[in-house]
Structure 1
Amino acid sequence: MPKTTIDAAGSPLIRLKGAVQQYPWGRTGSASLAARLAPNAVGPEFKLDEKESYAEVWMGTHKNGPAHLYKTPSTSLQSIILTDPARLLGAPVHDKWPDTPQVPFLFKILSIEKALPLQAHPDKSLGERLKKEKPDLAPDANHKPEIAVAIGKPLPGEDADISFTGFVGFKPLEEIAANLKDVRELRDAISDRAAVDTFVHSPSREGLKKVYAALLTHGAEGKAKAHVEALAQRVKEGAKAVEGLNETQARLVRKVTEQYPGDVGVFATTFFMNFVTLKRGEAIYIGADEVHAYLEGDIIECMAVSDNVLNSAFAPPEEIKQQVPIFLEMLTYTARPASHWALPVKPYAHSLQRRTSAYDPPLEEFTVLGTSLRPGPGGVGGDGRRERLGAVGGPTIGIVTRGKVRVSAGGDALDLEEGGIVYVVPGNEVQVELLQPDGDGEGEVWWAACVA
């Protein structure tokens, strides 16, 4: 019988206490997946308030929401790592980043009710510069590329099986030019008629940069509000009044305006950016300096360890005024169809019973894994309740999102209900067993791993 009393100093498994983050865009009360997972993710001291927004669960060593040991909450995961970083991070990770002995990724659950700020994350060089010159804008000298995997239930008002929506990257240039030609309020909000005309007749990356800068700058100055409100009123009046907009655009203008009335972000997202929809299990990858604004749904998110973000809309005016100039300068202005940001799912090479899929971005810091379990036959060996994950050279963090699961390694075991979080020390094969499925007959564990 496996041991179940875990000694953090020497065990291959450490149960963690994550951190809940409350932001205004999070889902409210028990509607939030972050809140529903919190009793096991952060412990019995979590008290749900049905009037509060619960946006994220953080799992990692970042100082803005560090994980602690579940049974001894006064002890941080980071402090344990510092006692023996070569073992607890793995020699490959420790050797690669010897000056920053920390988990190289930040793993999260997000539960989104309304649009996040229109944002981008600085690359390493800009992050290093901002940390020195404007540490209030960039607390970390690191980049923050990220992935998002949809894990929630289908959203009301969307096509069947769509469980996440968001704005990601710029649309193809020709589509943006068509919107500028068709929507008079958008042209009026930009106000630079010469830049608009040049871009409409000859779309280019430099032209996009000029018109987008004019739009967001006017927004930061409060000069776009009346034009956003004018279009919102047209949309409200019905189909005949909405000349120049297709059905999806009209719906998005209405939806985002209800959340942020008069905000220039209504224009900056709907008419410039790709509207992305994901079914459960589908994913996107967003590199550094790429514009995005998630809109609705429950997701797994993982990123290189950083909390750097610059906002340009859907945020307090004083914050916008300070950040818009840097935001506009840092963007890549990559203009592609939504498929450009899709991250394919593939079989995980270290999944010994074929119950785990991998989301592998072009990064050194992490791979995201999803393990699906269910009673009955399935995978290699014919038992859908069990999975074995081969040892990897870097740290792994897992969270149970469906059912009750036993995680075992090196003779130790943890029984985890939904929200339970585990840290796996590098070099250990992990066995996963479904003890009790959820109401849909499923078990599910999501992992972030540095597969060094």
Structure 2
Amino acid sequence: MLIRITNTPRPYAWGSTTAIADLLGTDPSGGPEAELWLGAHPGSPARIVEGAAEDDLAQWAAAHAPGGRLPFLLKVLAASAPLSLQAHPTAEQARAGFERENAAGVPLDDPARNYRDPYAKPELLVALSDPFRALCGFRPVAEARDDLAALDDARLAPLLERLTDDVLPQVVAWLIARSPGVDAIIAALTEQAAAQGELPHRPDWLDTVARLSAHHPGDPGIAVSVLMRTVILRPGEALYLPAGNIHAYLDGLGLELMEASDNVLRGGLTPKHVDVPELMRVLDARPLPPPLLEPEHPRPGIAVYRPEGVPLSLTVMEAAALIEGVDARLDGPAIILCLDGAVTLGEHGEHGELRRGEAALVAEEQTLRIVGTGRIAIASS
């Protein structure tokens, strides 16, 4: 069974006004278009165009999918401003938090609620734009100390005095809570980034400070960012963000695949609720290597992004592979999005054609013949 689907991009303020429309060949709305959701998540379920009696994939999943849900969510993400600084819980933390807030009678739509479902939310992102910028995870403390000390600004002394390997979590909590002295640190970083903006090669971390200051002046997330890794991706490069990884996408266009959850613990760069103690409970505050995800290449023109031990898989197929035809093995429900050109589905084209900007859910396990001159993404769990 093949179900043709569509959706309307989410109009979050940080979204680009043109990137999603330019990618998919659709008419821009005139406002920000931040995320196109292709899945059954109740926050914005994909609408069914053809192939099923239900109105949307949430209704379809409730009636036909195992457990009544589609466990993955594919997004086209287009950021022209930084997203909130955030981390996601493990499955165990999500279940416990969801049950705890339910028992306390916190409504699901309460802005102060942390856990809106009992699921984890690991996610991967594949860059489509050049560049795609992100903050993700903590860099070595010694590296951050050296960069801060080189600014030679007395207002940064309280941060430098606290900043050692064994107290990084406490320093992060101190900054996010805007403790005494933090406002002066934020001001110093903002001024230093502005002053060095005239240099030919401003360091990436200071460039991030300048970007964050422009969009979120005075926010504690500016200070947290100097302890984090600024990662710049080129098209086809990818990140995998497991539970506990603190991150924020800064700008760019990409494909994002995640487990279908809405559990976000925020740490700044947002007017939304920030629960510092709960964030610190889920946060992995260890310096780690950049969380780059290397794809598999089963044949030229095919890249498979599949984090180890996580039920997520995103495959990007280029025209170089599709023109000869690909037999795609789908072990369960999968969503296909045509990014360019057109492809024919089925051994004899019996499932029709997908053109640029069109998407479909393949509802059953099967080997699907795909032929064409376009580029597609296939998301599955």
TM-score bracket, normalised by the shorter chain, equals 0.7 to 0.9
CA contact (8 A) 2:54 2:60 kept: no
1:246-285 superposed matches below 5 A: 247-269=203-225, 271-285=226-240
The yes-or-no answer on 1:446 pairing with 2:355 is no
Q: TM-score, normalising length from structure 1? A: 0.74
Which structure has the bigger radius of gyration? 1
- Tell me which of 305, 312, 316 is aligned to 2:267: 312
1:83 CA drift (Å) = 4.2
For the aligned residues, what is the CA RMSD?
2.8
2: CA distance, partners of 1:272 / 1:73: 51
CA contact (8 A) 1:34 1:55 kept: no
After superposition, the C-alpha distances for 1:5-45 in whole angstroms (9 at most, x for unaligned) are xxxxxxx21111234211111112xx221575384xxxxxx
Aligned to 1:233: 191
Q: Which residue identity is paired with 1:235?
A: A
Question: Aligned pair in 2 of structure 1 residues 325, 34: CA closer, same or farther (>3 Å)?
Answer: farther
Aligned to 1:53: 32
After superposition, the C-alpha distances for 1:235-257 in whole angstroms (9 at most, x for unaligned) are 334479x9xx9633332222221
- Tell me which of 140, 158, 173 is aligned to 2:141: 173
1:208-357 superposed matches below 5 A: 208-218=168-178, 224-238=182-196, 247-269=203-225, 271-316=226-271, 319-320=273-274, 323-338=275-290, 341-348=291-298, 355-357=301-303
- Tell me which of 19, 27, 33 is aligned to 2:20: 33
2: CA distance, partners of 1:35 / 1:309: 29
After superposition, the C-alpha distances for 1:310-364 in whole angstroms (9 at most, x for unaligned) are 1111101x623xx2221122211121232xx11111124xxxx754220011244
Q: Which residue identity is paired with 1:148?
A: L
2: CA distance, partners of 1:38 / 1:142: 34
CA contact (8 A) 1:17 1:73 kept: no
1:180 CA drift (Å) = 4.7
Question: Aligned pair in 2 of structure 1 residues 79, 412: CA closer, same or farther (>3 Å)?
Answer: farther
CA contact (8 A) 1:34 1:57 kept: no
CA contact (8 A) 2:21 2:28 kept: no
Unpaired runs of at least 5, structure 2: 102-107
Q: TM-score, normalising length from structure 2? A: 0.87
CA contact (8 A) 2:257 2:314 kept: yes
1:57-68 superposed matches below 5 A: 57-68=36-47
The yes-or-no answer on 1:138 pairing with 2:100 is no
CA contact (8 A) 1:148 1:301 kept: yes
1: CA distance, partners of 2:276 / 2:348: 51
Question: Aligned pair in 2 of structure 1 residues 390, 405: CA closer, same or farther (>3 Å)?
Answer: closer
Unpaired runs of at least 5, structure 1: 1-11, 40-46, 86-93, 95-99, 155-162, 436-442
Percent of pairs identical after alignment? 25
